[in-house]
């Protein structure tokens, strides 16, 4: 059995940032376990630009963003293992892993950082009606096939869901010579960034059908046609609105789910709203010595914030390993109020804060000219005005230790105060 001070599960942006930050804080026996053939995670297939505006003040492609961190990891001499799949983690921080090089092995860790990322919601999770022919891919799978493996997935394409990956793929497929017939979105707004709607759809005259969904997929061997219908307020297809699109491929861009099988095996409590671990201000889970960061905790829009979260987890794990983690009492819980879908972190120990903390949250709907109110037992601690709040964009609220001085109870509620009730 090998022993490490810190085992990082996952070598994507969160794991890389966490391992490097822990090393900077003096942790030396670190290993990063990555199941793919190379580090970098999903960034390696995101060949478009737009990464790193906050971290590097440049617009990099995914592979470039990844390579900067991989180089740093290698230059400071952090150990990493590729093609290494973690099968189990116990609450005693024993890790079972398999790899071609080492076979089955047990690794013991004094601290663990979970950085497994997320995966795409698939057709099964949607119960899409129709036959089961070839030609139905999640957008990320298609992205990997085209950008890394070098396979084209189809010629005439329908995309379901207007998340950013779907929008990016609409452009990518068009540039590779395919015809994207439409992007259908069941909601009345897109969860994608405006920038992507303009530069991926408008630039190529690809229609975005809001309040529409796929009501049938036809084809025996391969997709032959897709029927798209308008939906009512309850998101049910409206009879009489069906339009059939002859096509050979369907891409699904219908949401990402944090990948937490290992967290659950380790006994880490999850938040049903995020499907990720409950964490505190130090990104520590409910199991002592196990930390989590990045998309395994909650799905981010920007990799820059994943990096930042990874660094926070790495620094906190280093403090924990050096026995410098101060007592957590008192603990303030963050409670999503009206309009707020989730908040990360789930609890805060003010005396553990190393400077300001960013509360990350998502709202449940579109709000214009609204305010975000942070309150404790009816006492308003802070209010922030936002011209636009949308579920597609994660909100970050900066909270300083001073802001928490007025917290009179053990709860902090954050709610959206819509424009109508502003007076």
Instruction: Give the binding site for another protein (CB under 8 A).
Output: 44, 47-49, 59, 61-64, 66-67, 146-150, 175-176, 193-195, 197-199, 202-203, 387-388, 390, 393
User: Angle 62-75/303-321 helices, nearest 10 degrees?
Assistant: 20
> CB of 172: closest distance to another protein in angstroms?
8
268/360 with CB nearer another protein = 360
Helix, strand, coil content of the chain in percent (nearest 5) = 25, 35, 40
> CB of 48: closest distance to another protein in angstroms?
5
147/284 with CB nearer another protein = 147
Please give the Cα distance from 151 to 147 (Å, whole number): 8
351, 324 in Cβ contact below 8 A?
no
> CB of 238: closest distance to another protein in angstroms?
28
> CB of 293: closest distance to another protein in angstroms?
24
The tokens 């990096």 sit on which residue? 307
Nearest Cα neighbor of 140 from 273, 290, 254 is: 254
DSSP β-ladder status, 340-344 and 332-336: unpaired
> CB of 393: closest distance to another protein in angstroms?
6
60/279 with CB nearer another protein = 60
Please give the Cα distance from 122 to 137 (Å, whole number): 8
The tokens 């995966």 sit on which residue? 119
50/350 with CB nearer another protein = 50
> CB of 177: closest distance to another protein in angstroms?
9
Tell me the C-alpha to C-alpha distance, in Å, between residue 87 and each of 151, 323, 348, 400, 422: 30, 29, 31, 39, 51
48/123 with CB nearer another protein = 48
> CB of 42: closest distance to another protein in angstroms?
13
Please give the Cα distance from 346 to 103 (Å, whole number): 38
Nearest Cα neighbor of 51 from 41, 64, 38 is: 64
147/334 with CB nearer another protein = 147
161, 201 in Cβ contact below 8 A?
no
7/360 with CB nearer another protein = 360
Please give the Cα distance from 78 to 346 (Å, whole number): 31
> CB of 38: closest distance to another protein in angstroms?
9
64/224 with CB nearer another protein = 64
Tell me the C-alpha to C-alpha distance, in Å, between residue 230 and each of 118, 136, 160, 170, 245: 30, 21, 13, 21, 14
- Tell me the torsion sign for CA atoms 99, 101, 107, 110: negative
């Amino acid at each position: 059995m090998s022993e490490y001070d810190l085992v990082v599960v996952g070598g994507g942006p969160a794991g890389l940032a966490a391992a490097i930050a822990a090393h900077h804080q003096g942790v030396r026996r670190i290993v990063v376990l990555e199941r793919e053939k190379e580090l970098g995670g999903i960034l390696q297939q995101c060949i478009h630009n737009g990464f790193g505006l906050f971290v590097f003040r440049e617009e990099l492609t995914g592979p470039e963003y990844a390579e900067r961190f991989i180089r740093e990891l290698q230059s400071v001499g952090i150990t990493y293992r590729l093609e290494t799949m973690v099968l189990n983690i116990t609450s005693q921080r024993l890790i079972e892993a398999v790899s071609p090089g080492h076979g089955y092995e047990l690794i013991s860790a004094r601290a663990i950082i979970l950085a497994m990322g997320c995966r795409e919601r698939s057709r099964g999770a949607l119960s899409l009606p129709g036959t089961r022919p070839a030609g139905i891919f999640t957008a990320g799978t298609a992205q990997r096939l085209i950008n890394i493996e070098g396979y084209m997935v189809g010629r005439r394409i329908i995309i379901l869901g207007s998340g950013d990956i779907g929008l990016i793929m609409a452009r990518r497929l068009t540039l590779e010579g395919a015809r994207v017939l439409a992007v259908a979105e069941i909601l009345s707004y897109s969860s994608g960034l405006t920038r992507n709607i303009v530069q991926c759809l408008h630039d190529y005259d690809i229609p975005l059908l809001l309040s529409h969904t796929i009501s049938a997929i036809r084809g025996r061997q391969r997709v032959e046609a897709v029927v798209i219908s308008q939906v009512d307020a309850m998101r049910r297809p409206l009879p009489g609105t069906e339009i059939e699109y002859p096509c050979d491929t369907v891409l699904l861009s219908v949401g990402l789910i944090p990948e937490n099988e290992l967290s659950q095996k380790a006994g880490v409590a999850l938040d049903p709203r995020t499907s990720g671990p409950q964490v505190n201000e130090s990104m520590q889970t409910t199991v002592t010595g196990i930390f989590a960061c990045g998309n395994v905790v909650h799905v981010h829009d920007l990799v820059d914030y994943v990096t930042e979260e990874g660094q926070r987890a790495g620094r906190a794990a280093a403090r924990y390993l050096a026995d410098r983690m101060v007592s957590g009492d008192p603990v303030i819980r963050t409670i999503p109020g009206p309009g707020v879908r989730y908040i990360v972190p789930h609890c805060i120990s003010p005396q553990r804060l190393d400077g300001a903390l960013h509360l990350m949250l998502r709202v449940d709907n579109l709000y214009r000219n609204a305010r975000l109110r942070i309150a404790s037992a009816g006492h308003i601690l802070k209010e922030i005005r936002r011209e636009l709040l949308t579920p597609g964009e994660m909100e970050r609220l900066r909270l300083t230790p001073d802001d928490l001085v007025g917290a009179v109870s053990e709860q902090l509620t954050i709610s959206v105060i819509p424009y109508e009730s502003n007076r």
